[in-house]
Structure 1
Amino acid sequence: MIFFSSNAGMWGTVALGALALALVATIGDRRRRRRSVPDRVGCMPWASVFLAALFVAVIAALFALKAWLSPV
């Protein structure tokens, strides 16, 4: 189990993980669009994965910023 010294570190890690997933989804969508055989359609909705990951990353980054700026 990972222990964080603050909530800002925890939310920052979540935001970085979600950004990494968004990057993977972007690469997957680019590969899907540039496939050589158009009949080989994949089943992974890369655009939806990207949007969901980006949404999570933005919300987690806002929580991290709020925790970092709070005067506790």
Structure 2
Amino acid sequence: MSIDKTLKAPNGMVRSRNVLKRGERIEQLKIEDRWVEGQSPLGLPKVRVAQAAAGRKKKKKKKEGEEDDDDKK
């Protein structure tokens, strides 16, 4: 039986995770200037995780005189 191509990632986990560990959340809060030294690491505020947007193909703009292929049918 073959292995699915999604399970054969050569670089390990390439995708970004949507849940951060406590240390990662504290680092992100420091970057956003929302962390105060001496603050309790329990009950941290939520931190947004940047989502990679999927690239989409741009539609070609039509000139005024041209018709769609669908319009001809």
TM-score (norm 2): 0.24
Q: Which has the higher helix share?
A: 1
Greater gyration radius: 2
Higher relative contact order, structure no. (Cα contacts within 8 Å, ≥ 6 residues apart): 1
